[in-house]
Structure 1
Amino acid sequence: MHSTIDPPSASLELPFRRPFDWTRMLGFIGGRASAGVESVNDGVYRRAIEWRGDDGTIEVLPHARKHRLVVTVEGAAARHAQELAAPLSRMFDLHADPREIARCLSADPILAPLVEAAPGLRVPGAWSGFELVVRTIVGQQVSVKGASTIMNRIVQRAGRRIEGHPHEGTAWRFPTPAELADADLDKIGMPTKRVQAVQNFAQAVASGALPLDTPGADTAQLQRDLLAMPGIGPWTVGYVAMRALRDPDAWPDADLVLMQAIAKRDPSLVKPAQQRARTERWRPWRAYAAMHLWNGVAIATGQSRGG
């Protein structure tokens, strides 16, 4: 008989304030997941991670009774489990106070029915800001599904397969900034300018010029620096500020789905200037307003649109 040593594992419980809409959170993340890197199945979020040089897998799901998420960390990264509480709480927006947000947004007749329909809606974050920005550039002017296809090609071409990994859906490591900057992305299905934008961005992160995933970095400066990069416009910066920089008041400017949704709910608001004036009422929670509008479109059309 061979004796097997189970890999180390640790678990964490992360509290949140009710209401908390885990199903819609996972639906949004799952629809935009990097195939092979992260997966959403049966109400469970999984991904392979690296923390302080140690590999591992995280698995996240709601507690059966308490108002908490339960995180299981497997592999060598389990010894850093306590350090993972902060980034995971940010990723799943656990610090939000849904009642305070609802009080503000429900005052507007455009948003009130949407907030009532999904009172626990949060702004889904990302494990890696770098990965999210790459996906956001890739997703410019293509469908959510089309962006996922190209992301999968990037992972296969520039990422690293983790040998002996227990979950096929998360058996790949997303490329590091340096790996992506140097990768051959020829014929990957993106226009040349967009490939250049991805690789310029990756190079800026690799060199330390853009400290995107550095705790305590100046988020306003990061947004200015991102906006100055070729191929990155105000929409991309607003979306990244929502999901990676965790700005609760970020707004993806000129998002077509949001503009159409606002005009549909209030036909007097057809011009961008009128819409912009209306969104001022939603401060300091415009990121949540965007999520509610996107969610309303998803419910109405049965399709994942926006973001």
Structure 2
Amino acid sequence: MDDDSRYQAVRSRDERFDGVFFTAVLTTGIYCRPSCPATTPKRANVRFVPSAAAAQGAGFRACRRCRPDAVPGSAEWNVRADAVGRAMRLISDGVVDREGVAGLADRLGYSARQVQRQLVAELGAGPIALARAQRAHTARVLLQTTELPITELAFAAGFASVRQFNDTIRAVYDRTPSALRAAAPAGDRDGPAAGPGGAGIPLRLAYRGAYAAGAVFDFLQRRALPGVEETSGPAGDRRYRRTLALPHGTGIAEVGESAGATGGRWLPCRLHLSDPRDLTCAVQRLRRLFDLDADPYAVAERLGGHPLLGPLVAATPGLRSPGAAEPAELAVRAVLGQQITVGAARTLGGRLVAALGKPLDRPDGGLTHLFPEPAALADAPLTELGMPESRRATLRTLGAALADGRVVLDPGADRDEVTAALLALRGIGPWTAGYVRMRALGDPDVLLTGDAGVRHGLALLGASPTDAEEWRPWRSYAVHHLWHATAS
């Protein structure tokens, strides 16, 4: 896009570009998302920036009407496998807050200077500024949804000091923290306790375009692991809940299915965290699990135009490719699911959780455990699973590889390197490596040619893997359309 086409998108309030670029208005000093309902500024008064951090760095304040800091993330970072795409996924996960720029660079295999230069060139801001913008958004959420004391809240949002927190909130939102808190309806706020025993932190997980929530919840419900996950409620109004092992503690996440019916493009969420510092990381994990940063317009344009796949896309608009809240857990579950049904894999997973999972300090309904850590699998006999020794050996091998870093599944992992590392492990073949790549690493372009459901779906359409070459770079979404068609 050039600036003239961006301005046309702003004039038409085209939400397809929310999160792709931001509109900075010179006369007001405010930046907005393209779909902002406010009066469209004159072309001469508009500048376009590639990130909220770039707008904030240039001195622009976030619009109070459209809340540009809360837009879904750009789908570009899901598609791109280069250093910038990997860096953006890691920054979203909170790596800069936890490990600094040096830690980010080390994970990427570049120098800090190289990372800074590449991010500034493409996003108009370096890793510190990008992380600062994310901290500001986290702080606003905590200010407006909890009664946490300001000092606790500042550190929970990732700020190094209360002074830094105050200065950032004033710069980004043109309000003091107290004024920003007062602007939220009092009924939207919970008490000071945000841990598993408290009311939790209420959130709205935004997405763009159509969202086939029913199909996503069906997918997760069929695979819900006893002790770690559960779903409840009737179709159309279900709740998905799961436990989370987070950098600073544990959490329980609850996500609802029905918000879209009210006209809002978001899923209702409530997080119960033992340590509020994990808010950003927990939110990003849920966004990946529910594939909320996808670009359904681009997916539909590519897949919907194919003569064989198009009818499936039209029948289920907004079908997503669910990721993983716990990548290591997903890899283990992929091995458990080799050559057996989804139901059988769920049963085996439940046995594994009961045998080696870490019990929660306070069980919550059907949620009783965290999924076993990889190191716990490395030396376990696993006889309680009732599996052949060869597959138990594969689980132990995978657990050891995840524990000692031979296989790294963090958000910024190099997908090709991970695939090669997985295939080098005895007992892991192309289907398992591809499934991990699609879900744990969020690759939107994986075709599981060895999957029985995919083969059945292709046969149903009269298509072949050769036809699927035309579905790039969205073949993971095509896989879900094929699965959905065969399950219907």
TM-score, length-scaled by structure 2? 0.56
> Which residue of structure 1 lines up, in the alignment, with residue 476 of structure 2?
287
Map of 2:419 onto structure 1? 223
CA distance in 2, matches of 1:73, 1:32: 21
Decide whether the 8 Å contact of 2:413 with 2:441 is kept in 1: no
Distance across 2 between alignment mates of 1:51 and 1:132: 15
The one-character-per-residue Cα deviations of 1:49-99 (angstroms, maximum 9, x if unpaired) are 222231221111243442112221114144432332222212211111112
Task: Give secondary structure in 2 for the equivalent of 1:276.
Answer: coil
Q: Secondary structure at the match of 2:254?
A: strand
* 1:135–1:147 Cα contact (<8 Å) kept: yes
Contact 2:250 2:275 in 1 (8 A): yes
Alignment match of 2:305 (pick from 95, 103, 107): 107
Q: Map of 1:112-151 to 2, 5 A cutoff?
A: 112-151=310-349
Which residues of 2 match residues 67-216 of structure 1 at below 5 A?
67-167=265-365, 169-212=366-409, 214-216=410-412
Equivalent residue for 1:55? Answer: 250
Q: Which has the higher contact order (CA 8 A, sep 6+)?
A: 1
- Over 3 Å counting, the alpha-carbon distance change for 1:77 and 1:24 in structure 2 is farther
Q: Report if aligned partners of 1:46, 1:58 keep a CA contact under 8 Å in 2.
A: yes
Deviation string 1:152-208 (CA, Å, 9 cap, x unpaired) is 1111111122132222x2111110011122223015221111111111001100111
Tell me by how many angstroms 1:35 deviates. Answer: 1.2
After superposing the two structures, state which structure 1 stretch, 189-198 or 250-259, moved more: 250-259
Q: What letter is aligned with 2:430?
A: P
8 Å CA contact 1:110, 1:265 repeated in 2: yes
Q: Distance in 2 between matches of 1:134 and 1:194?
A: 11
* Separation of aligned partners in 1, 2:248 and 2:310: 46
> In the aligned structure 2, how far is the partner of 1:294 from the partner of 1:244?
18
Of 72-81 and 25-34, the range deviating more from structure 2: 72-81
- Structure 1 contact 135–151 (Cα < 8 Å) conserved: yes
Identity %: 38
1:37 aligns with 2:235: no
* Mapped pair 1:278 → 2:473: no
| Contact 1:8/1:76 (<8 A) preserved | no
Aligned residues: 286
- Is 1:264 matched with 2:460? yes
Cα distance in 2 for partners of 1:86, 1:188 equals: 32
SS at 1:147's partner residue? helix
| 2:487 aligns with one of 280, 298, 301 | 298
Q: Which runs of 5+ in 1 are unaligned?
A: 270-274, 300-307
2:434 equivalent to 1:238: yes
In structure 2, distance between residues paired with 1:73 and 1:187 = 33
Normalization by structure 1: what TM-score?
A: 0.88
RMSD: 1.7
CA distance in 1, matches of 2:315, 2:465: 24
Residue type of the alignment partner of 1:265: L
Letter in 2 for 1:195: R
**In the superposition, relative to structure 1, how do residues 83 and 254 fare at CA in structure 2: closer, same or farther (>3 Å)?**
closer
- For the residues of structure 1 that align with 2:350 and 2:283, how far apart are their CA atoms? 28
| Counterparts in 2 of 1:106 and 1:154: CA distance versus 1, 3 Å | same
* Number of the residue aligned with 2:206: 15
